[in-house]
Structure 1
Amino acid sequence: MKLFDVIVVGAGTSGMMAAIAAAKSGSNTLLIEKNKRVGKKLLLTGGGRCNVTNNRPADEIIAHIPGNGKFLYSAFSQFNNYDIMEFFESNGTHLKEEDHGRMFPVTDRSKTIVETLFNQLEKLDVTIYTEAKVEKILRKDDQVIGVALEHKKIYAPCVVLTTGGRTYPSTGSTGDGYKLAKRLGHTISPLYATESPILSDDGFIKDKTLQGLSLQDVSLSVLNSKGKVVVEHQMDLLFTHFGISGPAALRCSSFVNQELTKNNQKSVTLQLDIFPQKTSAELKNEIKQKISDQPDKSLKNALKNLVPERLLDFVLNNAALSDHQAKQVSEQQLDELVDSLKSFKIHAEKTLPIEKSFVTGGGISLKEIQPKTMESKLVNGLFFAGELLDVNGYTGGYNVTAAFVTGHVAGTHASNIAEYTYLPPLDEE
């Protein structure tokens, strides 16, 4: 019977970092992965280039983690995004900055990041079992004593669960960790898709009128049932055959799902402002100027280049202004036109499911986890990290950062506790 100090379940972003941290702290560490190789999902991040972290200050990172980011303040005080960058740089993997502080390996290959982590695991003599699925966490009374695989039991006083959420199930993220945690008495906050394209049944979406149209630097808001803005994001947007995608839509998606669950709403109204840098009055004056420059032209020709042609056609059709001459347009029609460009309404019925989204919202209730150590408040020696936690951020390196940070903190504290935890006689439940 082999006895370890720390067992880490799941060799993704947080799992590999947890195993490295535990081993660095002197623990005899085992990393268990059900896939053939480690870091399968990490290979897909950042479009296969691996957006490994973000170089903005910690407060800004946490502000970009709308799903319970404040829970991470204590973890960030121990290990943060700058420590992540230092970890890779000191191991010979150089990073470069792109827009909005996103950090990528200079090689532009996520494989570089996975290899760096794997090399560290090997250097630190971490034992790695692949193609091994944990069926159960073993405990005696309120103390973890190990894990059960299909055909054997492995003992350790500390277990770190880092099995991921339910996005990209082909990578092994099939929600196993939630089941394991639930069996130990943990509460799972309802799971929902975040960072997900948004689906709409609006006529213009179904007719594919604007499909493939991309808009730069527009503002998208989610409205609640009373018409008040819940969240607003100014970024790029893409109309698709099923609804909307692109950064602005992805960032609004978790709020769409949260609003849909409130009062069992059938749909949520989104408001698109195509000219967020201009007031309605400024936009109206700009349109008036274009009309006065070419009063005898059709309104469509007078307003050429104001917005992409397909969008202009759509807006003018909706306002029954397609056949108007520029000089025929009334003040009221002008106001309606400005309104359709400044508060273009889209009705969202849902987002893509979790399995097709970038990030899982919801997860293991944070009320049951110590923020300083990531240890369970219910079972001694049980730790959590990564996407299993009820923590979710926007795309841009924020979720990977949270995974590395919580992994490091969980691994370090698991190692410290394993040092002085005595395992009871192993006639476990």
Structure 2
Amino acid sequence: MREADVIVVGGGAAGMMAAATAAEYGKRVILVEKNDRFGRKILITGKGRCNVTNDCDADTFFQNIPTNPKFLYSAYHAFDTQDTKQWFTSRGVALKTERGNRVFPVSDHASEIASTMETACRESGVSMMKGEVSSLLIEGGAVCGVTLSNGTVLHAPAVIVATGGASYPLTGSTGDGYRFAEEAGHTVVPIRPSLVPLVSEDEDCRDLQGLSLKNVTLSLVDNQTGKTLYHELGEMLFTHYGMSGPLVLSASSHLKTITPGRYSVVIDLKPGLDEKQLDARILRDFAEFANRDFINSLSKLLPKKMIPVIVYRCRIPAFLKVNSITKEQRHTLVSNIKRFVVPVDGFRPVEEAIITSGGVNCAEVNPRTMESKRVKGLHFAGEVLDVDGYTGGFNLQIAFSTGYAAGLFC
């Protein structure tokens, strides 16, 4: 017995987009979500504000997809960032664009995005069901439904798996989709945290705990090759375990594994000034504070919490009078400000990652329809796929684009 034309497993961004799209094209859809509410992970995105997408052109979008960008070409061009904006604004959500072309609801409430998607599903006729899918039903090389953990069996000739990754497990992203994919004969690229804080055993991080830096540049350097893997201007945060914040999260997506001594973060605390200009600025400050101790002469130049760390790194006596500082010592100060080096010793756990890198092998999925090349009628959407982007709304756009494609072609 067929209960529906399509069963969508997972009521997050990708799942709700897939369900609403399929229903709007006349399909009978059942959306199964194991959480007590739909869109739970949406509620914590963008620090609770929901960075819906990024208002950029196609070239910029793909530059911000480090993993399998070519796989997304068809899905993105069928439903791009402008389509996402239109989808929400046409449903009454006022949007605004902030720094870095990040798009947020004017209300600054992620709940508005989640509730709008849920309403779109309900109004298009989607049957919204609370329950946990335990397995897929596959017969003769084709999917034919799902089994729930309570024993209920639902039948449909198409199933869309949109269960998320393994990050933020309290939101329901516990890696179920990877198991479903493997049981269906798919290869799952080993998962790892991405957009995740970085661990550093450098004691300076603990001393700087809680310090947020804005308008700095962060470079991720491979010490073995000397190559810069990532370089960007923005914000970051020091923590008791190391570093976090937008720049650090984006940098983390360039690292697959971390070995001792291999990688360092290099922070330019004054990117608006070259070394010569910075030296001139320091000379002016020193002239103003000529009779002060060195440690008390940097208040105009650096955040209060950063001063003792910089002084220690320079190996200049803290209570040396400014008028006694040599040219060489001043150049050491310039160097430490322009190149504040922090070793990278590891990732925080995948549970703390914004997204999971790895997942269903994209070579085994049709990039236009999101349908499995191994099981007829089985589709994948969102983070369960081995595709991910940087911070800035790119990962939600992946969810919307792949969800739309799966819903359209299921």
Q: TM-score, normalised by structure 2?
A: 0.93
Letter paired with 2:273: K
Identify which of 298, 311, 315 aligns with 2:293.
Answer: 298
Q: What is the aligned partner in structure 2 of residue 93 from structure 1?
A: 93
What is the rounded CA distance, in whole Å, between the counterparts of 2:375 and 2:324 in structure 1? 74
Q: What is the aligned partner in structure 2 of residue 314 from structure 1?
A: 309
List, as ranges, runs of 4+ consecutive aligned residues in structure 1 with deviation greater than 6 Å: none
Q: What is the aligned partner in structure 2 of residue 102 from structure 1?
A: 102
Greater mean deviation of Cα atoms: 299-308 or 243-252: 299-308
Deviation at 1:403, TM superposition (A): 0.4
Equivalent residues in 2 for 1:276-295, closer than 5 Å: 276-292=271-287, 294-295=289-290
Q: What is the aligned partner in structure 1 of residue 138 from structure 2?
A: 139
Q: What is the aligned partner in structure 2 of residue 82 from structure 1?
A: 82
1:219 paired with 2:214, answer no
Deviation at 1:232, TM superposition (A): 1.3
What is the rounded CA distance, in whole Å, between the counterparts of 2:312 and 2:55 in structure 1? 46
Deviation at 1:402, TM superposition (A): 1.0
Equivalent residues in 2 for 1:318-397, closer than 5 Å: 318-321=313-316, 322-397=318-393
What is the rounded CA distance, in whole Å, between the counterparts of 1:57 and 1:94 in structure 2? 21
Q: What is the aligned partner in structure 2 of residue 419 from structure 1?
A: none
Q: What is the aligned partner in structure 2 of residue 163 from structure 1?
A: 163
What is the rounded CA distance, in whole Å, between the counterparts of 2:46 and 2:298 in structure 1? 38
Q: What is the aligned partner in structure 1 of residue 176 from structure 2?
A: 176
Q: What is the aligned partner in structure 2 of residue 417 from structure 1?
A: none
What is the rounded CA distance, in whole Å, between the counterparts of 2:108 and 2:305 in structure 1? 35
Q: What is the aligned partner in structure 1 of residue 22 from structure 2?
A: 22
Q: Give the 3-state SS of the residue equivalent to 2:226 in structure 1.
A: coil
Letter paired with 1:392: D
State whether residues 261 and 343 of structure 2, in contact with CA within 8 Å, keep that contact through their aligned partners in structure 1: no
Q: Deviations over 1:350-392 (max 9, x none)?
A: 1211111211111111111111111112222111111111111
State whether residues 233 and 251 of structure 1, in contact with CA within 8 Å, keep that contact through their aligned partners in structure 2: no
Deviation at 1:400, TM superposition (A): 1.0
Q: Deviations over 1:266-319 (max 9, x none)?
A: 662111111222222222232234335554443334443111233222212222
What is the rounded CA distance, in whole Å, between the counterparts of 2:114 and 2:298 in structure 1? 51
What is the rounded CA distance, in whole Å, between the counterparts of 1:86 and 1:304 in structure 2? 47
Q: What is the aligned partner in structure 2 of residue 427 from structure 1?
A: none
What is the rounded CA distance, in whole Å, between the counterparts of 2:64 and 2:378 in structure 1? 28
State whether residues 17 and 117 of structure 1, in contact with CA within 8 Å, keep that contact through their aligned partners in structure 2: yes
Letter paired with 2:166: R
Deviation at 1:68, TM superposition (A): 2.6
Q: What is the aligned partner in structure 2 of residue 197 from structure 1?
A: 197
Greater mean deviation of Cα atoms: 79-88 or 133-142: 133-142
State whether residues 259 and 268 of structure 1, in contact with CA within 8 Å, keep that contact through their aligned partners in structure 2: no
Deviation at 1:140, TM superposition (A): 2.0
State whether residues 145 and 157 of structure 1, in contact with CA within 8 Å, keep that contact through their aligned partners in structure 2: yes
Ranges in structure 2 where 5+ consecutive residues have no aligned partner: none
Equivalent residues in 2 for 1:223-262, closer than 5 Å: 223-224=221-222, 225-255=224-254, 257-260=255-258
Q: Give the 3-state SS of the residue equivalent to 1:405 in structure 2.
A: helix
Q: Give the 3-state SS of the residue equivalent to 1:135 in structure 2.
A: strand
What is the rounded CA distance, in whole Å, between the counterparts of 1:185 and 1:293 in structure 2? 71
Q: What is the aligned partner in structure 1 of residue 45 from structure 2?
A: 45
Q: Deviations over 1:77-117 (max 9, x none)?
A: 11111111111121222222232222222333222222222
Q: Give the 3-state SS of the residue equivalent to 1:223 in structure 2.
A: strand
Letter paired with 1:307: L
What is the rounded CA distance, in whole Å, between the counterparts of 1:152 and 1:210 in structure 2? 53
What is the rounded CA distance, in whole Å, between the counterparts of 2:7 and 2:42 in structure 1? 20
State whether residues 15 and 407 of structure 1, in contact with CA within 8 Å, keep that contact through their aligned partners in structure 2: yes
What is the rounded CA distance, in whole Å, between the counterparts of 2:106 and 2:234 in structure 1? 26
Q: TM-score, normalised by structure 1?
A: 0.89
Q: What is the aligned partner in structure 1 of residue 207 from structure 2?
A: 209
Q: Give the 3-state SS of the residue equivalent to 1:77 in structure 2.
A: helix
Ranges in structure 1 where 5+ consecutive residues have no aligned partner: 415-429
Equivalent residues in 2 for 1:27-38, closer than 5 Å: 27-38=27-38
Q: Give the 3-state SS of the residue equivalent to 1:309 in structure 2.
A: coil
Letter paired with 2:144: I
Per the alignment, do residues 363 and 86 of structure 1 end up closer, same or farther by CA in structure 2, a change over 3 Å counting? Answer: same
What is the rounded CA distance, in whole Å, between the counterparts of 1:2 and 1:36 in structure 2? 26
Q: Give the 3-state SS of the residue equivalent to 1:275 in structure 2.
A: coil
What is the rounded CA distance, in whole Å, between the counterparts of 1:266 and 1:126 in structure 2? 52
State whether residues 21 and 408 of structure 2, in contact with CA within 8 Å, keep that contact through their aligned partners in structure 1: yes
Percent identical: 39
What is the rounded CA distance, in whole Å, between the counterparts of 2:329 and 2:234 in structure 1? 28
Per the alignment, do residues 309 and 182 of structure 1 end up closer, same or farther by CA in structure 2, a change over 3 Å counting? Answer: same
What is the rounded CA distance, in whole Å, between the counterparts of 1:379 and 1:125 in structure 2? 27
What is the rounded CA distance, in whole Å, between the counterparts of 2:245 and 2:341 in structure 1? 17
Letter paired with 1:213: L
RMSD between superposed Cα atoms in Å: 1.9
